Amino acid sequence: MSLKQQIQTQATALTPKLIEIRRHIHAHPELSFQEHETAAYIETYLKGLGLQTQRMANTGVVAVIEGKNPSKKTVGLRADMDALPIVEVEDGRPYRSTREGVMHACGHDAHTTSLLGAATILNDLKDQFEGSVKLVFQPGEEKLPGGASLLIKEGVLKDIDVMIGQHVMPGIDTGNVGFRPGLYMASTDEIYVTITGKGGHGAMPHLTIDPVTIAANMIVALQQIVSRNANPTLPSVLTFGKVIANGATNVIPNEVKLEGTFRTLDENWRAMAHEKMIQMAKGIVEGMGATVDFQIVKGYPFLKNHEPLTHRCIDFAKDYMGDAHVEPLGIWMAAEDFSYYSQEVPSCFYRLGTRNIAKNTGISVHNASFDIDEEALTTGCGLMSWLAIQELNS
């Protein structure tokens, strides 16, 4: 039996166990940097394989599988572990979250499960590859400053030559995966704005400094920074998703609070846009008689897949799955703290298809009804194992 067949056979045989693991993690979600039970569960599993574990960034878990000539080369495999503050839909699923208001709505339960499956396969086949595989179970992907940045500060990359990660994609059918060499995902910044005016009676706006109309003017004007200043070949997004004006039908409030996000794919433009937003906001707000506090919290950098590594991974995936099951991806303006790894070492971040219309698993991530087709776990653990071994042996 070839190495590929061994991996595929083991991945298939592991599927019932993977489903059990994924459902346990899904039913017991934990928010970013609070993944204590999840970390302990992972440690118990890895120790059951005979692996030594290390805690990093408090709730992160790291382990190494050594093959032949373990110091020759090291491939890092990453899975994130945290959940989101979302109330999961009540639709009868037996593994629904037992913690109301916390849900694995982004597939991190599937990522962790896939890497545990890959750990099982790689540990069984460690006499068939050169070098080592470093398993990185990362906390806090969903919350700044991002668990990846903390792990890097603690030295997780010091012996890693390349980093590989996967993320579920409900827009791709189960059994397929997607890759994009080069620029792939955007940087992300959080924006917090307070506009202070002078409140009063809604029937006498001339006696007020209306922060509501001022905020509306500011929001519309700021969009020109994206539409008229950004390089059209590199997308930018500016969105305000939260506006609080706590007045009433006949009450103009004293202040308006706004929260938003800015995303781009160019670091120089990112810095310029920050300055332009602050200058424009102050000019508009102060020109209309109010004051503004405009805070930008810098988040994750853009994610750029290392082109030679990603092209190799595409070829490896086609060999493992067949050409028809490997899809090209476009630029996606969502953000990921895997980007921190991509800034430090050659990295490849790809997508694992989880869509099955018959099972209603095509719903977007970060949605209360999100779910995966659990058959994708077979592909997830098998492909990660194959990519790691092929990269080490290439």
What are the b/e assignments for 21-35, b being 16+ CB within 10 Å?
Answer: bbbebbbbbbbbbbb
Mean pLDDT of 101-109: 98
**What's the pLDDT at 233?**
87
**What's the pLDDT at 131?**
98
For 10-29, what is each residue's pLDDT tens digit?
A: 999 999 999 999 999 999 99
Q: Is a pLDDT exceeding 90 seen at residue 266?
A: yes
As a whole number, the mean pLDDT across the chain is 97
**What's the pLDDT at 134?**
98
Instruction: Please list the active-site residues.
Output: 82, 141
Q: Is a pLDDT exceeding 90 seen at residue 136?
A: yes
Using CB atoms within 10 Å of the CB of residue 145, give its burial: 0 to 12 exposed, 13 to 18 middle, 19+ buried. middle
**What's the pLDDT at 367?**
97
For 287-317, what is each residue's pLDDT tens digit?
A: 999 999 999 999 999 999 999 999 999 999 9
Mean pLDDT of 387-391: 98
Mean pLDDT of 245-262: 98
For 344-377, what is each residue's pLDDT tens digit?
A: 999 999 999 999 999 999 999 999 999 999 999 9
**What's the pLDDT at 41?**
98
**In angstroms, what CA-CA distances link 183 with 80, 106, 168, 187, 303?**
21, 22, 19, 11, 6
User: What is the pTM for the complete model shown?
Assistant: 0.94
**What's the pLDDT at 237?**
96
**In angstroms, what CA-CA distances link 207 with 212, 213, 287, 288, 303?**
14, 14, 17, 13, 50
Mean pLDDT of 199-222: 98
Nearest CA to 189 out of 244, 240, 256, 243 is that of: 240
Supply the angle between the helices 211-229 and 267-287 in degrees, to the nearest 10. 150
**What's the pLDDT at 336?**
97
Q: Is a pLDDT exceeding 90 seen at residue 277?
A: yes
**What's the pLDDT at 184?**
98
Instruction: Please give the Cα distance from 281 to 277 (Å, whole number).
Output: 6
**What's the pLDDT at 234?**
87
**What's the pLDDT at 156?**
98
For 107-118, what is each residue's pLDDT tens digit?
A: 999 999 999 999
